[in-house]
Amino acid sequence: MTSPRLDLSSRVIAHRGASHYAPENTLAALQKAYELHIPWIEFDVMLTEDNVPIIIHDETLERTTDGHGEVAKTAYKDIAALDAGSWFDRAFSGENIPTFAEFLKQAAELNLSVNVEIKPSEGKDQETAMAVVQTLQAHWLTARPNLLVSSFSVVSLTAARALDKSLCLGLLLDHWFGDWQESLLQLDCVALHANWRILTKRKVAQIKDLGRYVLAYTVDNPEQARELFSWGVDAVFSNVPDVILSSVL
């Protein structure tokens, strides 16, 4: 196993930035996490039609922008012109969808640790992983600690591992599939990121016995967070990271 090089002492990771207070996966959400003194942020990377890695969660544009259609079938120049803030609040009118490179630059300037989720559209698992790793190599200092790359896609994680043996990887799970342990070990993941609803005290102990971190998403209830931490969960993803952090201090 790769020796973990992550400082998870904060125990709370801002989910898609501080997404309760600012539109998710935007520079505004990143900035808000910084202002709340949350040292870790999580965000999603997907490819445009012309293979530009951008920060967005959904495969379609409707929910978080004033655009329409599929991300994978829309050119970056058209996505760059969209408003990704007004849906959340008029105060964020004009907020755009950042490129992965722009997002990394801002995170580095604010000295934030990052969890990059590879979020491939259908059939783009390898291409998205390649774009993520290449962008990290170009825009994120290789010696910088606290970089975690995660994905639900085993294909994406396999491609990322092949491109960079030194990456700290995290396997995302929404349900327990038959060979999840084998995938975790073969990919040399340092962490398993699970939907908190599928975790039990016994399952957390099982993962910890493998020498892996356990991260749970998405936890906005302080009582739930305290229970998860009592089981040995190392960190939780939250839309209200300040609320969760204050509840466990």
- Report how far residue 77's alpha carbon sits from residue 144's, in angstroms, rounded to the nearest whole number: 31
pLDDT band at 1 (very low <50, low <70, confident <90, very high): very low
Pairing assessment for the beta strands 12-15 and 53-55 based on DSSP bridges? unpaired
Model pLDDT, residue 178: 86
Pairing assessment for the beta strands 53-55 and 40-47 based on DSSP bridges? antiparallel
Two structure tokens written together for 144: 């910088």
Enzyme catalytic residues: 15, 57
CA geometry: angle at 136 spanning 63 and 110, to 5°?
Answer: 75
CA geometry: angle at 189 spanning 147 and 17, to 5°?
Answer: 35
Two structure tokens written together for 240: 């209200």
* Sequence-ordered list of residues with C-beta below 8 angstroms from that of 173, at least 6 positions apart, any chain: 152, 180, 192, 193, 194, 195, 198
CB 118 within 8 A of CB 42: no
Model pLDDT, residue 10: 82
On the question of pLDDT at 132 being above 90, the answer is: yes
On the question of pLDDT at 2 being above 50, the answer is: no
pLDDT band at 8 (very low <50, low <70, confident <90, very high): confident
Model pLDDT, residue 215: 98
Determine what percent of the chain is predicted with pLDDT higher than 70: 96
What would the mean pLDDT of 106-115 be, rounded to a whole number? 94
**Helix, strand or coil for residue 91?**
helix
> What are the pLDDT digits (tens) for 150-189?
999 999 999 999 999 989 999 999 999 989 999 999 999 9
Q: Residue 191 burial by CB count (10 A; 0-12/13-18/19+): exposed, middle or buried?
A: buried
**Helix, strand or coil for residue 225?**
helix
On the question of pLDDT at 144 being above 90, the answer is: no
Q: Does the predicted TM-score (pTM) go above 0.85?
A: yes
CB 214 within 8 A of CB 234: yes
